Structure 1
Amino acid sequence: MALGLLRHASELYAKSSLSFHLRFLGHDISLLSALLAIFVASRVLKLLNGLRAVSSLPGYRVPFQPLAPPGALIPTSWWNPGLYAHWKWKDTLYKDFQNENFSVVPFLLGAPSIYTSNIDVMRQVVSGGEQKTSFQKSPAASRVLIKWGQNLVGAWETGMWRKHRRVMGPAFNNKLHEMVWAETLNTYRQMETVEGWHGKDVVEIPVMQKLTTKLALLIIAKCGFGFTVDCSAPPTGPDGSMTVQEALRVLTDSYIVGLMCPDWVRYLPGFGRIREAFKAFSTFMRKEIEARTAEVRNEEQSAEERMDAFTMLVRANEQETGKLRLSEQEVIGNVFILLFAGHETTANTICATLALLALHQDIQNEVVEQIVTVVGYDRDPAYSDYSDLDKVLSAFYEGLRLFPAAHIMIREAAEDTVLHLPNPVGQEGTTPLPIQKGTQVIVDMVGIQYNPRYFDDPETFRPSRWYGESNESEAFSAFSLGPRACIGRKFATTEAVVFLTMLLREWRVEPLLKEGESRRGWRERVLGSPILGLATAVGEAPVRFVRRKQGGA
């Protein structure tokens, strides 16, 4: 009897417990369903708001903003444009929409954006300078540029930019460019000795980037910072653990982890080299700023004689007071940008130019003919020859057009405004496109440089398209436009003209082919898949130098 009652009680408990759990589970499912419905509704609302922000301009509707994590970390695919769509899809990207502008509206994470390959639209959003405009550099996108401190390139507000420009501007003058010319000439001569070119008729260069990177770093070290260095002894950090060249290489090669990710990522296992590079470079910069500031403050003769950009930057900053004066961290930020922009972009473009000339021997011969006509064989080129070596400069410009160093520029609408989109070729006028505050405008420099509106046969390497153009022409849009155009443009072109003149006068540059490889295969390997980091770089470029005979090829 007692056993029966116990069994009955147990069954009742089991039934009630099951009923309770089913009710509880049902409640959980209802809650999850409600939360899911709220989430989906919020994402639909985000998508609708994003479409409204860009006035429903046709384009991509994707989960993430492609230029910020996590979209930037995911490979380019049909559902995620990522960092590289504007290069990988450059032949069809704008044709698909039959427009020079398209929108990208994320429904999970990120701000809506408009991509443009039109120079007139570019001019509307990047030509701010002293004038207040409706667009500013995106603070979020600029974080990668101000990792070391606020600087001229990363400044997004007009007042902030004006402050940095006031201090940086005096550093880039004609005396500096004369110094760049002379030091590039000397560095080329040193390179001949250190690299063992003397007495050889053929020299094989397995990776041209290593040579151009060494050149550019040495020039920025000498002319940018006034260091006494040569090809065999690049500048080293004070602790001796890592050279500045190696630290820069590590930082630029790993820019996504080193510059885009939070600082704590560097302290995870496997990131020791990045951590060491940050430490070495930071220590190096602080020591140099401290030493150069002391020289300027004490009015030492050595400081007065220095014409390098770094000393002039420090001197200009010492003359400022109050809010116009840069902090130490801001000086460091400008130093990093000067070092990075002064060597990475120039090195990559010189390398791309040489690779293209190696593939186009007829154009290379045309450039060499001008070099021999202007300079001859019995003297070194002089700074006064710069304007007469326009075919050398045009080859560099064309290399920069095909592989633009700054492949995108990001601006953000600081207020509700209207973009005026030029109508298709053959139709006059513009079409207004209202956009909302916070919308990003991505200036696609690859799209602009390959836009047939501006360049006939845009895929073709044709330096002659630049012949006769003024050096200040806005056709050279790869350096940006307006007051905020690249401050180091003449620095870079001066360095490039000297190096290319010296090298091409003495050597014919050819592709260095693998066994069984065709020139077409070499072209695809080297130029087909450039690396789009903070600057554009072609693939590893193996070339052969063949010594020229005077008066012939």
Structure 2
Amino acid sequence: MGEYITILGLFLGLCLASFVLKVLGTLFLKPRLQERAFRKQGIPGPPYSFFNGDHKEMRKMMQQAIATMPKAPTHDILPYYNPLMYQMTKKYGKMFYIWLGTLPRVVLLEPKLIREMLTNKGEEFHKPEINAFTRLFTAGVSSLNGQKWAMHRKIINPAFHMEKLKGMTPTIAKCMEAMISKWEKALGSKESHELDVSIEFQKLTADIISRVAFGNRYEEGSRVFQLLNEQGKLLSKVYYMATFPWLRHLPTKTNFRMKQINREVTNTLKGIVTARQKAMEVGGSYVVKDDLLGLLLESNLKEQRENNSSRGKGGMTLEDVIEECKLFYFAGHETTANLLTWTIVALSMHQDWQEKAREEVVGLVGIEKTPSFDDLSHLKLVTMVLQETLRLYPPVSITRTTGRKGAKLGDKYLPRGVSVFVPTPFLHRDQQVWGEDVLEFNPRRFSEGISKASDKDPSPYFPFGWGPRICIGQNLSMLEAKMALTMMLQRFSFELSPSYAHIPYFVLTLQPLRGAQIIVHRLQPNP
């Protein structure tokens, strides 16, 4: 008996020693070796700070910056949006590293090297593996790499072809009409009314994506949206713990709620998807071919048949489809809502551009007609306004990770597992690229298209990413935004409320920290 106890003790001792060595390697040895490798190649950055890295200093500086933001709204947001990175760009230039806990992150602002990374066709640079907390929120094609990414992308692509999106235009217009009707009631007999448009657009885009994704099951889809919206807020609270994924097993209130939401969302989407699959098998009238789910399942079935796989090995599994449905929500709802919010804020700051955009809308569409798909395609200035808004307020930044063998970038070699970060708000405000008016809201810079928007050709403009991994839903997002902006300009004018505080803040996406309070004025119809 004593011999077995001794063996067990030795085994547990070895396990404990292995665990301690692994922790010491993560917290001390590996960061020091990576720091040495960066410095040897001339990549500058701050020294490693035990465990927290630069996270603690970053939070402190952001809190101070928010408290001292100028009262007058300005597009010169970088000193307040991320003051630590702003100081480092001044000190280190266009390529340096920072520390996220124990993990180094190379910040890249050199357009040539960014394109080199994004057009990489091998596995030297790929999307980072999502952590255990994020997986409870959403996964889908945006988190995949290699052959699985290529297969998912191939299956999803048909749902976002322009001809398919054209068929969704009436649904988008109907959702807009419902929001406008609500605004009209809020105005009542008054000429103006204050609204937090960030909340309004969250509701609008949730309604749109629920309908275009699930057709006549949109009410169930709306419930999914509410849950995922809550999940996103919970994720932002625990995201700093991503380095230690085992923390998700702790019996905390947040962990419990996140798992509960994930189960409910998965079960709801499973019910919607399996019902549609059964209807497709029997060819029932329940099938709606022109919503995103129907188009996705149709394309997936085609892929499975081409690969002669009744088990779905040649296409997506049920679990894969559910994850893509979750992604429809986050990418299709959050991005568009923020684009509309920042557009209305920008047009409220710049009344001259608001009037120019309205003149184009009234001249080409009129004030009473609901815009058609073809009408929207002819609104050049409206498109330019949206493009300039995306330049100044891009929804997300770009992150890539080096593969198992590391990666060469220019004349530098990055060790394996190193994260490369492109902060697009910084890139889109590079005076050397965009000119002296870089901090001005000037849609005219896009009058000859994106590639000629600056002295550089093509312009380093990445609001939806770039290269093979460019956002698959960008056309749907722009279609929604064009329709919404056009219909609002037909009926209302906008100005900033005195209570509005211009504080762009990154929480999964770039959004206003304290809302977007706008005074909405009813336009008097022409006699």
TM-score (normalised: structure 2): 0.80
Deviation at 1:91, TM superposition (A): 4.3
Equivalent residues of 1:183, 1:222 under 8 A apart: yes
Residue 234 of structure 2 corresponds to which residue in structure 1? 254
Counterparts in 2 of 1:262 and 1:105: CA distance versus 1, 3 Å: closer
Alignment of 1:155-304 (within 5 A): 155=144, 157-195=145-183, 196-197=185-186, 200-227=189-216, 235-236=219-220, 243-257=223-237, 264=248, 267-269=251-253, 274-303=258-287
Aligned to 1:93: 88
**Are the structure 2 counterparts of residues 284 and 257 from structure 1 closer, same or farther at C-alpha, using a change threshold of 3 Å?**
farther
Output the amino acid matched with 2:177.
R
Q: Deviations over 1:176-212 (max 9, x none)?
A: 3213322221112122334415754534243211110
Q: Which runs of 5+ in 1 are unaligned?
A: 1-34, 230-234, 421-431, 515-521
2:463 is paired with a residue whose SS is helix
Helix, strand or coil at the partner of 1:112: strand
Residues 367 and 405 of structure 1: CA distance in aligned 2, closer, same or farther (over 3 Å): same
Are positions 1:536 and 2:510 aligned together?
yes
Q: Distance in 2 between matches of 1:166 and 1:532?
A: 31
- Output the CA distance in 2 between the equivalents of 1:204 and 1:78: 36
Per the TM alignment, residue 397 of structure 1 is displaced from its structure 2 partner at its CA by 1.9
CA 1:269/1:479 → structure 2, altered by over 3 Å: closer, same or farther? closer
- Aligned match of 1:464: 444
CA contact (8 A) 2:348 2:494 kept: yes
Indicate the structure (1 or 2) with the bigger Cα radius of gyration.
Answer: 1
Distance of 1:546 and 1:79 partners within structure 2: 35
Q: 1:79 to 1:199 in 2, by over 3 A?
A: closer
Structure 2 CA distance for partners of 1:163 and 1:489, relative to 1, 3 Å:
same
Q: Which amino acid aligns with 2:206?
A: L
Between the aligned partners of 2:233 and 2:408, the Cα distance in structure 1 is 38
Measured at CA, do residues 49 and 145 of structure 1 come closer, stay the same or move farther in structure 2, by a change above 3 Å? closer
Q: Report the CA distance shift for 1:148/1:511 in structure 2 as closer, same or farther (over 3 A).
A: closer
Q: SS of 2:46's equivalent?
A: strand
Residues 111-120 or 308-317, more deviating: 111-120
Any residues of structure 2 matched to 1:114-133 within 5 Å, and which? Answer: 114-128=106-120, 131-133=121-123
Tell me, in whole angstroms, the C-alpha distance in 1 between the residues paired with 2:355 and 2:61: 43
Q: Structure 1 residues 391, 492: closer, same or farther in 2, change over 3 A?
A: same
Question: Do the aligned partners of residues 46 and 382 (structure 1) sit closer, same or farther apart at CA in structure 2, a change above 3 Å counting?
Answer: closer
8 Å Cα contact 1:47/1:105 also seen in 2: no
Q: Specify whether residues 358 and 334 from structure 1 end up closer, same or farther in structure 2 by C-alpha distance, changes over 3 A only.
A: same
Indicate the SS of the match to 2:366. Answer: coil
Distance 2:229 2:463 in 1: 24
Q: Are the structure 2 counterparts of residues 498 and 175 from structure 1 closer, same or farther at C-alpha, using a change threshold of 3 Å?
A: same
Alignment of 1:41-52 (within 5 A): 43=28, 46-52=31-37
Q: Please tell me the residue identity of whatever aligns with 1:101.
A: M
How far apart in 1 are the matches of 2:375 and 2:252? 52
Aligned residues: 472
Over the aligned positions, Cα root-mean-square deviation in angstroms equals 3.4
Change over 3 Å in CA distance of 1:408–1:150 after alignment to 2: closer
Distance 1:164 1:46, change over 3 A: same
Q: Which residue of 1 aligns with 2:43?
A: 57
- CA distance in 2: counterparts of 1:316 and 1:40, whole angstroms: 46
- TM-score norm. by structure 1 comes to 0.76
Deviation at 1:148, TM superposition (A): 6.0
Q: CA deviation at 1:273?
A: 5.2
Aligned to 1:455: 434
Q: In structure 2, what is the Cα distance between the partners aligned to 1:146 and 1:511?
A: 38
Q: What SS does structure 2 have at the residue aligned with 1:330? A: helix
Q: Among residues 52, 59, 66, which one is paired with 1:76 in the alignment?
A: 59
Structure 1 pair 248–380 and aligned structure 2 pair: CA distance change class (3 A): same
Aligned: 1:498 with 2:487? no
Instruction: Look up the SS of the partner of 1:478 in the other structure.
Output: coil
Q: 1:102 aligns with which of 82, 89, 96?
A: 96
Contact 1:86–1:93 (8 Å) recurs in 2: no
| Corresponding position of 1:319 | 302
Contact kept? 1:408, 1:445, Cα under 8 Å: yes
Change beyond 3 A, Cα 1:40–1:408: closer
Q: What one-letter code is carried by the residue in structure 2 that aligns with 1:502?
A: M
Matched, 1:484 2:472: no
Provide the C-alpha distance between the structure 2 equivalents of 1:272 and 1:150, rounded to a whole number of angstroms.
Answer: 19
Judging changes above 3 Å, is the alpha-carbon distance between structure 1 residues 172 and 53 closer, same or farther for their aligned structure 2 residues? same
CA distance in 1, matches of 2:262, 2:24: 40
Instruction: Mark the runs of 5 or more structure 2 residues left unpaired by the alignment.
Output: 1-19, 64-77, 453-457
Query: Partner letter of residue 535 of structure 1?
Result: T
User: What amino acid sits opposite 1:184 in the alignment?
Assistant: I
How far, CA to CA, are the matches of 2:406 and 2:466 in structure 1?
Answer: 23
Q: What secondary structure sits across from 1:226 in the alignment?
A: helix
Partner of 2:359: 369
Question: Which residue is 1:549 aligned to?
Answer: 524
| 1:204 counterpart SS class | strand
The one-letter code sitting in structure 2 at the alignment partner of 1:113 is R
Q: Pick closer, same or farther for the CA change 1:310–1:475 going to 2, 3 Å.
A: farther
